[in-house]
Amino acid sequence: MGLFWRRKSGDEFVRLGLNEPAKPTEAPAVDTQQQRAEQVPESPSLVPPASGGAPTPIPVEKVQHQVEKPQARADSETSNPVREKPVASRSPFATSVLGLNLSMEELKAQEEALEQEFSARFRRAVAATRESLSERLDTVFAGRKQIDEELLDQLEEVLIAADIGVNTTLAVLETVRHGIARKQINDLDALKTALKSELLGILKASEREGIASETTVAESVSPYVMMIVGVNGVGKTTTIGKLAQRIKAEGNDVLICAADTFRAAASDQLAIWADRTGVPLIQQKPGTDPAAVLFDSLKAAKARGSDVLIVDTAGRLHNKSNLMAELEKMKRVAAREVDGAPHETLLVVDAVTGQNGLEQARQFLKVAGVTGIVLTKLDGTAKGGIAVAIAKELSLPIRYAGIGEKVDDLVVFDPEQYVNSLFGN
């Protein structure tokens, strides 16, 4: 599996780069009042949020001392309330990022150990789904020697109960029936193998459709902009914290943009995650135009030489036309500032909400130009089959899975690992 976030080539993982020229400092565009008015009409004055729960913003002068990279800021950016509070990383990746005291072999061993650990945690996260699925399959298969229509009907019920979804289940069973008719599936073992390979096929096919990956964007394009969308409560903020932590832990400079200005609480929560992970955050007063916050974040990211900008967005679906206009405006602003941005738009879906979550996801697809899914709370359900329904019905790859509430509880979703974990090998 290798690196969690792969935009940097493998050998940069341990390269010091002492003989390389410093990253060029990008002079921010001249920001005349007229230009700014055209770009973001409602751009407000930049002041720290009036929230009680958030940590006190650190004055910019202090932040500039803490930031190692050379910077040049336009006047508008120097007033950004950038929060930066370096904290010791609690991530197990911290040692594998620099690893300057380790040999290549030791680094590889460390990486493998980490992968094994994540693999074990992923298995544990889908344990409830696995147990429920295998229990039901055992009941269906018990005492049977051959495959008949009754067995296939019961299998249909089992797959639907695991939240694989009616359409997906019917499609899977149709293929299985063909296999039986062609005598390719003759016994229960072959049936189980065919089932696994069908589910894997669906997940893999979704990876070929619409995938946006950091590897497809040239390293010269910076920052890599990730927009995170989804309804409130699905785990968007937590996912942003987890992503920031892991991408940072692999040696990238990360910045978070708090563009859900609709809910003050969202911004406060994000500030807590930013502090926890030691990643700076750009935020403004509640009610500020999200596109304006994004504009300032993009400017700040460029001035800092940030590798990645993670953008939180509002999650209120009840006001869809506003949300659509808001997201479209944000996309326009991003594309104007950085080539091809946003490079990735991740829709966060809560596995626990099952088919309802799928319906919400469909609504978002219409407005947000989603390129991939983050499936959260996979650890909190026995109906983890929803991953297959999502891949099939939304035709979108699942990029990451949330497997707990802690900062390290996020994994790159691996279809093979998922299917093997569900079927117990």
| Sign of the torsion angle spanned by Cα atoms 415, 416, 420, 421 | negative
Residues 66, 280: Cα–Cα separation, whole Å:
11
Residue 409 tokens read as 């509880």
236 binds ligand GDP (CB under 6 A): yes
Residues 362, 425: Cα–Cα separation, whole Å:
32
408 binds ligand GDP (CB under 6 A): no
Residues 257-316 that bind ligand GDP (CB under 6 A): 269
What is the rounded radius of gyration, in angstroms, for the C-alpha atoms of the chain? 23
Q: In the bound complex, what is the minimum distance in angstroms from residue 27's beta carbon to ligand GDP? A: 35
Q: In the bound complex, what is the minimum distance in angstroms from residue 419's beta carbon to ligand GDP? A: 20
179 binds ligand GDP (CB under 6 A): no
Q: What are phi and psi of 398, to 5 degrees?
A: -90, 115
Q: What are phi and psi of 308, to 5 degrees?
A: -140, 135
Residues 333-392 that bind ligand GDP (CB under 6 A): 376-377, 379-380
Q: Which stretch binds ligand GDP (CB under 6 A): 56-64, 226-234, 243-251, 283-291?
A: 226-234
Question: 92 or 340, CB closer to ligand GDP?
Answer: 92
Q: In the bound complex, what is the minimum distance in angstroms from residue 273's beta carbon to ligand GDP? A: 8
Q: Which of 312, 359, 316, 350 has the alpha carbon at shortest distance from 235?
A: 350
Among 86, 233, 287, 424, binds ligand GDP (CB under 6 A): 233
Among 49, 354, 357, 402, binds ligand GDP (CB under 6 A): 402
With H, G, I as helix, E, B as strand and everything else as coil, classify residue 73.
Answer: coil
Tokens 């997201």 belong to residue: 327
Among 290, 372, 384, 404, binds ligand GDP (CB under 6 A): 404
Among 409, 411, 412, 414, binds ligand GDP (CB under 6 A): 409
Q: Which stretch binds ligand GDP (CB under 6 A): 74-82, 234-242, 329-337, 417-425?
A: 234-242
Q: In the bound complex, what is the minimum distance in angstroms from residue 148's beta carbon to ligand GDP? A: 40
Beta bridge partners of 255: 309
235 binds ligand GDP (CB under 6 A): yes
Q: Which stretch binds ligand GDP (CB under 6 A): 110-118, 155-163, 199-207, 404-412?
A: 404-412
Residue 73 tokens read as 């800021």
Question: 288 or 353, CB closer to ligand GDP?
Answer: 353
Q: In the bound complex, what is the minimum distance in angstroms from residue 203's beta carbon to ligand GDP? A: 19
Q: In the bound complex, what is the minimum distance in angstroms from residue 83's beta carbon to ligand GDP? A: 18
Question: 188 or 272, CB closer to ligand GDP?
Answer: 272
Q: Which of 255, 249, 245 has the alpha carbon at shortest distance from 224?
A: 255
Q: Which residues have C-beta within 8 Å of that of residue 173, sequence separation ≥ 6?
A: 152, 155, 156, 159
Q: Which stretch binds ligand GDP (CB under 6 A): 174-182, 194-202, 302-310, 400-408?
A: 400-408
Q: Which of 348, 347, 337 has the alpha carbon at shortest distance from 369?
A: 347
- Residue 117: what residue type? E
Q: What are phi and psi of 322, to 5 degrees?
A: -65, -45
In degrees to the nearest 10, what's the CA dihedral of 31, 34, 37, 39?
-60
**Interaction site with ligand GDP (CB under 6 A):** 232-238, 269, 376-377, 379-380, 402-405, 409
